[in-house]
Chain A
Amino acid sequence: MSAASPVIERGTAASRIAGFGVAIIILLLAVAPQFLSAGAVDRMTALFIYVILAAMWNALAGFGGLVSVGQQVFFGLGAYFAIRLANAGLNPFVSLFVSAVIVGAVSWPISLFMLRLRNGEFAIGMWVIAALTHLLVNLDRLIQGETGTSLISLNVYDASTRRVAIYWLALASMTALLAVLFGLLRGSTGAAIRAIRDNEDAAASIGVRVTGTKRLLFVLAAFGIGVAGALWLATAITFQPKTYFSVQWTAYMIFMVLVGGIGTFEGAILGALLFFIIETWFGGTGVWYLIGLGATALVFSLLLPRGLWGTLEERFGWRLLPVGYRVRLPVNASVTTGGTAPPAQVTTSREKA
């Protein structure tokens, strides 16, 4: 009698239901503008942008182990290139995406340089890049320094058409970016990414291409945040460098990911939702709202560093959008292999994400 072999799972019953759930939610969101007020459509667009920001920062920090406090550089550049392209005569909606592609391309040479820094050095190094880029963008005569400019060409579209179009663009971008990230993490690159996150040196020693993988995440995050910046410009119309290159964007990203659960796919989405709700309720309180955000991030990093989702996941073994592998060992060794896996306990294998 052979001992039952462990079963390797890539999903659970819950995750399969969640898969359907996600599809239904996206469908519902797609038709939602029919029923929502103009203000609500704008808020939902903001939510989609927050989800993109959280997911991209999480990809970089949670999966790539690269904590950056300068990601606002890509947010600002996403908006800036869109302004530039639209000014050159490109259709404003098209320029939003061409702009993000340029941001991704710009991030490549930056990565050659910055990825050689470690931890805190990388974090502040990115901040220096962001500060420098902000100053350089200010020099552009089109932007008129801190006065800023607007995406005027978007005004040829009627306001309600524009609102719904941007909503759909944001929804589509969010879905596509999340899908790409999900696919990336679930594929063989995902295994490499998690190996690097857990132990970079060990990963390198078993043949994981550490720098290449990190670069992929860096460029993806830059592209995604570039999309977010361009979309934000489309909703806000005005471009003031100070607003777009503000470190507060990174603060928001850190808050969302830390609270939701760093290094978990679902956590970033949960964090963005929570941030959206908190902003809706307390955003009007100005400075106290920012103090609260900072304090919450501080407390989470000290007391609950795995965030809400990470903690729930660990305690209850939840997997809604599983990107990893899970090994289940049969309890009853007499069960022959080949059959369906018996109801088994999940081992304490430290697979995450």
Chain B
Amino acid sequence: MTNQIVQGILLGGYYALIACGLSFMFSVMRIINLAHGSLAVLSAFALWLLASHLHVPPFLGLAIVLPLMAVIGWALQRFLLERSARGGALLPILTTFGLAIVIDNVLFEQFGADTRSLAPFIGSLSYDSWEWPGSIYVGKLAVIIFATAVVLLGGLQLFLTRTGLGRSIRATSEDPDTAGLVGVDARRANALAAAIAMVTVGLAGAFLGMRATFDPYAGATQLLFAFEAAVIGGAGSLWGTLVGGIVLALAQTLGAKVHPQGFLIGGHVAFLIVLFIRLYTSGLGLRGLLRFSTGKVS
């Protein structure tokens, strides 16, 4: 049992990683990007392509893919989201959903239905493990993913609170017009935030590929995981996302213990329970369900 809890917590690191980009973009631009999961899968495929055809190991491949993801994020904001956000809150949902369909099917067209994995390209890391007291084996990769999530969340927190760029992003998320009055370029801040979010998505995609398999249509599931972890973590801080990821992973572990097909069900049910409690205890207007308070950082 202890073993499963430890594995669940480590898996939660991955969910936090994929969720942080989603909730970061939501908190800055008030947009939920439905292409989020598909973009993570895109990044995994890019790394797979580099590794299998050009023999670039995935960790090195990140040096190429992450800047590309940043550019994609910037372009996404400038050419799609900025434009569709002007048409109201509903339009970006449709735009990004259309984008998700395009990405999924282009990937399918290019790579077919086969499931792929980056595991063969990272050597023994995919199965190496440490033995902890109490004969608990923890995978080295799982620990690396968890550590990356912690470092990334902490780094993002520091960036938002301690740097000028971070402050301009926070100002824009609070009130773009007023931020403009004091000389913050809201367009630039938003595009920068989107670029940062996509870098985290790229990283999440890399770890998705290393720890499991993926196929062109895997994006939808990743989007749901990201959304669930972000909502469970809720309106706390960036660390809430980590808690959300861990809760989601533990619920899935518990679900799998109850029923062989219960892994996903457990996660969805936990999400709904948390949502239910949140809705009926706080009574908050729910605008802030996903929003982590970039403004009030402890």
Contact = CB atoms under 8 A, between A and B. Distances in A.
B91 A305 contact: yes
Given A125-B275, A127-B224, A136-B265, A301 B95 contact: yes
Contacts of B265: 132, 135-136
Interface in B135-166: none
Interface stretch (A81-89, A283-291, A334-342): A283-291
Given A113-B279, A116-B279, A118-B286, A132 B97 contact: no
Nearest to B221: A131
Interface string A278-304: 000000000110110111111001100
A138 B261 contact: yes
Contacts of A69: 34, 93, 97
B26 A120 contact: yes
Interface string A45-86: 000000000000000010001010100000000000000000
B227 A124 contact: yes
B63 interface: no
Interface stretch (B81-89, B183-191, B236-244): B81-89
A181 interface: no
A254 B94 contact: yes
Interface residues of A, number: 40
B224 A124 contact: yes
A199 to B, nearest CB: 11
A121 interface: yes
Contacts of A305: 84, 87, 91
A123 interface: yes
Nearest to B290: A121
Interface in B78-124: 80, 83-84, 87, 89-95, 97-102, 104-106, 108-109
A296 B290 CA distance: 30
B289 interface: yes
A159 B102 CA distance: 38
Contacts of A138: 261
B228 A119 contact: no
A69 B228 CA distance: 15
Contact of B289 (A65, A121, A288): A121
Contacts of B220: 127, 247
A333 interface: no
Given A121-B290, A124-B32, A298 B105 contact: no
Contacts of A128: 224, 227-228, 268, 271-272
B40 interface: no
Contacts, number: 123
Contacts of B102: 291, 294-295, 298
Contacts of A288: 105, 109
B223 interface: yes
Contacts of B132: none
B287 interface: yes
Contacts of B104: 294
Interface string B257-287: 0010100110011011001100100000011
A294 B105 contact: yes
Contacts of B259: 139
Contact of A67 (B93, B286, B289, B290): B93
Interface residues on B, range: 35 or more
Given A67-B94, A301-B84, A302-B84, A294 B287 contact: no
A296 B94 CA distance: 11
A291 B105 contact: yes
A121 B287 CA distance: 9
B31 interface: yes
A61 B90 contact: yes
Nearest to B92: A120
Nearest to B89: A119
B32 A121 contact: yes
Contacts of A131: 224, 264, 268
Interface of A: 61, 65, 67, 69, 113, 116-121, 123-125, 127-129, 131-132, 135-136, 138-139, 247, 251, 254, 258, 287-288, 290-291, 293-298, 301-302, 305
28 contacts: A67-B94, A118-B89, A118-B286, A118-B287, A118-B289, A119-B93, A120-B92, A123-B32, A124-B227, A125-B275, A127-B220, A128-B268, A132-B265, A132-B269, A132-B272, A136-B265, A139-B261, A291-B102, A294-B101, A294-B102, A295-B98, A295-B102, A297-B98, A298-B98, A298-B102, A301-B91, A301-B94, A305-B84
Interface of B: 26, 31-32, 34, 80, 83-84, 87, 89-95, 97-102, 104-106, 108-109, 220, 223-224, 227-228, 231, 259, 261, 264-265, 268-269, 271-272, 275-276, 279, 286-287, 289-290
Given A116-B286, A139-B259, A291-B105, 19 more contacts: A65-B90, A67-B94, A69-B34, A69-B93, A113-B276, A117-B275, A118-B289, A119-B93, A120-B26, A121-B32, A121-B289, A129-B272, A131-B224, A135-B264, A247-B220, A294-B98, A294-B102, A297-B98, A302-B80
